[in-house]
Amino acid sequence: LLDPDPDRRRESSLLLVGAGADPARRRRLLRGQGWGADPLAALVLKLDAQAAEALGQAPRAQQLWRQLARRFPAAAASADALYALGRTEPGQRAALLKRFPAHPAALAAALEAGPGGALHLARWGARWPGAEARIRQVCRSGAGSGSGGFGAAERNELAGALAQLGDGAGALSCLGPRRGSVGTELALGRALLKGTATQPAEGEKRLLGLSRHWPTSPEAAEAARLLSERPGPAALALLAQLPPALRQTAPVQARQAFEGERAWREVLARWPADPASWDLSWELARQRLLKREWAQAAAILKVLSPDRLPTPLAVRQLFWLGFAEQRLGQEEQARYHWRQLLQRSPWGYYGWRAVVRLGEERPPLRLKADPQAAPLAPSVWQPLGSGQPRLDRLWRLDQPLEAWEEWRHQRGSRTPMAPAPLIVEGRLRQGVGDDWMGLAQLEQAQLRWIGARCPVALPLERSLHPVRHGATFAGAAAAAGLDPTLLLAVAKQESRFTAGVASPAGAIGLLQVMPATAAELAGAPVSEDQLRQPELNAELGARYLALLLRQWQGNPFLTIASYNAGPGAVQGWRNPTLELEPELWVEAIPYPETRLYAKKVLGNLWSYQQLSVRGC
User: Which amino acids are annotated catalytic?
Assistant: 494
Integer angstrom CA distances of residue 88 from 66, 74, 84, 91, 93: 13, 22, 8, 9, 10
CA angle in degrees (0–180, nearest 5) for 477-480-481? 80
Q: Enumerate residues 6+ apart whose C-beta is below 8 A from 586.
A: 557, 561, 595, 598, 599
Q: CA nearest 610: which of 441, 489, 482?
A: 489
Q: What is the largest CA-CA distance in the chain?
A: 81
N-terminal to C-terminal alpha carbon distance within the chain: 39
C-beta pairs of 262-267 under 8 Å, 24+ apart in sequence: 264/300, 265/303
Q: CA nearest 478: which of 565, 370, 581?
A: 370
Burial (CB count within 10 angstroms: exposed 0-12, middle 13-18, buried 19+), residue 277: buried
φ, ψ dihedrals at 479, nearest 5°: -65, -30
DSSP letters along 478-526, please?
A: HHHTB-HHHHHHHHHHHHTT-TT-B-TTS-BTTTTB-HHHHHHHHTS--
Question: Alpha-carbon distance 613 to 501, whole Å?
Answer: 32
